[in-house]
Amino acid sequence: MTSEKAKMLNGDPYDAMNSELAAERERARDLTARYNRTAADDGETRRELLSELFGSVGEDAAVEPPFRCDYGYNVHVGDDFYANFDCVFLDVRRIEIGRNCLIGPGTHIYTATHPTDAAERSEGLESGEPVTIGDDVWIGGRAVLTPGVSVGDGSVIAAGAVVVEDVPAGVAVGGNPATVVRELDDEE
């Protein structure tokens, strides 16, 4: 029999109220609460807590508190990653963020999703799709990335954009839903 956690990590419908998953969410809540109480000048404690919370953390990665996530272990960030205040990562599936990425305040990244059919939704099962963000990406404040999207290297997501489809490399997108506003030159 497949565990609910294995189903979640595979992207299959799973019961989020499962006791193992509930305990793992509690662990993440504890770690984020501790992280969110750290002092601005306590970089060592912040690095230790991020390393314990996230699946992998690159060199010089920083997250401004407050920060929230579901599990933490599905979040992987590269070198020189920076997330500003009030970010939320719903990481029932993998969130992969490359190196030299900047995440604006209040940005939400969602991998969790629910059935669109009301009868199925009332059964309480949910699922997820991974989110992948390439290297050298800048995501403006209050942007939302929805389940299953990928963002190509060097792209810019405008503040307030809602990304519902993949973003190619080297473009700026904005709006709801986000669309390509322009291609970015290498000199920019």
Other Cβ atoms closer than 10 A to 41 = 8
Q: How far apart are CA 25 and CA 70, in angstroms?
A: 6
Q: Is-catalytic flag, 114?
A: yes
C-beta of residue 136 within 8 angstroms of C-beta of residue 145 = no
Tokens of 160: 């307030």
Paired strand residues for 151: 133, 167
C-beta of residue 5 within 8 angstroms of C-beta of residue 20 = yes
Q: How far apart are CA 63 and CA 72, in angstroms?
A: 13
Q: Of 114, 129, 162, 184, which is the active-site residue?
A: 114
In 23-137, DSSP assigns E strands to 56-57, 62-63, 67-69, 75-77, 82-83, 87-90, 95-97, 102-103, 108-110, 112-113, 125-128, 131-133
Task: Indicate which residues carry an active-site annotation.
Answer: 114
